[in-house]
């Protein structure tokens, strides 16, 4: 199976999202540690423990993320901590869409989302726009659907 990795820029995006998500509690711990009349080491250790996953999880997630359009299905493999492999048979695909949020646009990245009758079946984040369009059109073609 010839699986492909995501665009390397997605790692930067995931780092930014991770750091933004832990910034408020980290800042609260640091400020509390500076303002209260207690030893500051536990507060700074707590802040460090919040920051470590935001730094290391995107690297691991990027290394494990793979996708492949195979003969009869779409294969995705992902997971930083838990590993998940997904197979979406082409005959189950209802429609395919591209999605690009504000942070995605900042990195020129696009996400391709595949839907079946049961709902969202798979997504491939962190694709450059040309690759995303090619994948969306290919999946729509082999599934006999239209892309959005």
Per-residue pLDDT of the chain (148 residues; tens, 9 = 90+): 688 999 999 999 999 999 999 999 888 888 888 888 778 788 788 888 988 999 999 999 999 999 999 999 999 999 988 999 999 999 999 999 999 999 999 999 999 999 999 999 999 999 999 999 999 999 988 887 655 5
Question: Does residue 97 lie within any of the structural domains?
Answer: yes
What's the pTM?
A: 0.82
The enclosing domain of 119 has a CATH number of: 2.30.29.30
Burial class (CB in 10 A: 0-12, 13-18, 19+), 77: middle
Same domain as 24, residue 93: no
Which string of DSSP letters, residue by residue, matches 108-135?
TEEEEEEEETTEEEEEEEEEEHHHHHHH
The answer to whether residue 3 sits within a structural domain is no
- Do 87 and 41 sit in the same domain of this protein? no
For 25, the domain range is 9-62
In this structure, is residue 110 part of a structural domain?
yes
Is residue 118 located within the same domain as residue 90? yes
Task: Report how far residue 8's alpha carbon sits from residue 17's, in angstroms, rounded to the nearest whole number.
Answer: 15
- CB-based contact 10:126 (threshold 8 Å): yes
Counted domains in the chain: 2
């Amino acid at each position: 199976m010839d699986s492909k990795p995501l665009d390397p820029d997605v790692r930067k995006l995931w780092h930014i999202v991770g750091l933004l998500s832990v910034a408020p509690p980290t800042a609260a711990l640091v400020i509390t540690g500076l303002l209260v009349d207690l030893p500051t080491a536990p507060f700074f250790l707590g802040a460090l423990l919040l920051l470590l996953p935001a730094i290391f999880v995107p690297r691991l997630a990027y290394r494990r993320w793979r996708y492949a359009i195979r003969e009869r299905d779409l294969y995705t493999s992902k997971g930083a901590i838990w590993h998940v492999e997904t197979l979406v048979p082409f005959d189950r695909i209802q429609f395919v869409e591209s999605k690009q949020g504000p942070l995605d646009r900042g990195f020129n990245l696009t996400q391709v989302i595949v839907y079946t009758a049961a709902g969202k079946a798979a997504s491939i984040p962190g694709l450059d726009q040309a690759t995303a369009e090619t994948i969306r059109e290919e999946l729509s073609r082999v599934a006999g659907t239209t892309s959005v």
